[in-house]
Amino acid sequence: MKPVEAGEILNLYEYERVREARRREIIALKAERRVGVGRYLSFVFENHQTVWFQIQEMLRAERIVDDAKIADEIEVYNSLLPRPGELAATMFIEIGESSLIQPVLDSLLGIDLGEHVRLEVGPHVVVGQFEAGHSDEERGKLSAVHFVRFALPPAARRAFGEAEVALVADHPGDRGRTVLSAAVRRRLSEDLE
């Protein structure tokens, strides 16, 4: 997938003029790339457009105008893009009641380790590989946002368009299996091309 380049980034003034329209577009796009699993987990599969939007929003929020700092943000956010043969997602732990936030996060400690999150593509099982640094089991700390990659072997990539595809969480703190809709599968197939 083509990384976001500096030439695509709008300055703060230009972005502000188009922000509301782009925001609506990205919300609609993310709806087609979002998969809920279990009670608390939601995955948004990233692509060029979603990452571009995150960069623009970060630059806006932090009022970043320095070219070197913009380049740093681009580099950081481009790391969220899937590499060839991969799907990449942001996993959100979504907890509606504030009184449940810490107990639920505690119950999900370790979800980013081992084989708790996987993609099933027909008979092929692809275990999610999480970015390090979002949990600390020794201190009992877990972030509510994680980045996960699914490196699909060639046979799984070939089967992706036709086979049943499901996103699975199998952890004592939350379990679920969600079959991807045809619309989501179609969007994600584009990422694998």
When comparing pLDDT for 144 and 117, which is higher? 117
Mean predicted confidence (pLDDT) in 9-16: 96
Judging by DSSP bridges, how do beta strands 129-130 and 145-151 pair with one another? Answer: antiparallel
Q: Domains plus CATH for the chain?
A: 1-31+48-81 (no CATH), 35-46+83-193 (2.60.40)
Q: Per-residue pLDDT for 39 more than 60?
A: yes
Q: What is the pLDDT of residues 164-175, one digit of tens each?
A: 999 999 999 999
Proportion of the chain above pLDDT 90, given as a percent: 89
Q: What is the pLDDT of residues 145-189, one digit of tens each?
A: 999 999 999 999 999 988 999 999 999 999 999 999 999 999 999
Q: What is the pLDDT of residues 52-68, one digit of tens each?
A: 999 999 999 999 999 99
Note the pTM of the prediction, 2 decimals. 0.91
C-alpha dist (Å) from residue 145 to 45, 59, 152, 153, 160? 13, 20, 23, 26, 26
Q: Strands of 124-127's sheet, edge to edge?
A: 124-127, 117-121, 165-171, 174-179
Phi, psi (degrees; rounded to nearest 5) at 108:
-100, 5
Contact 44, 30 (CB under 8 A): yes
Of 15, 2, 6, 19, which is closest to residue 66 (Cα–Cα)? 6
pLDDT-derived band at 135 (thresholds 50, 70, 90) equals low
Structure tokens belonging to residue 105: 């996060």
User: CA 124 to CA 42: how far, in whole Å?
Assistant: 22
Mean predicted confidence (pLDDT) in 34-44: 97
Q: What is the pLDDT of residues 120-134, one digit of tens each?
A: 999 999 999 999 866
Judging by DSSP bridges, how do beta strands 86-93 and 41-45 pair with one another? Answer: antiparallel
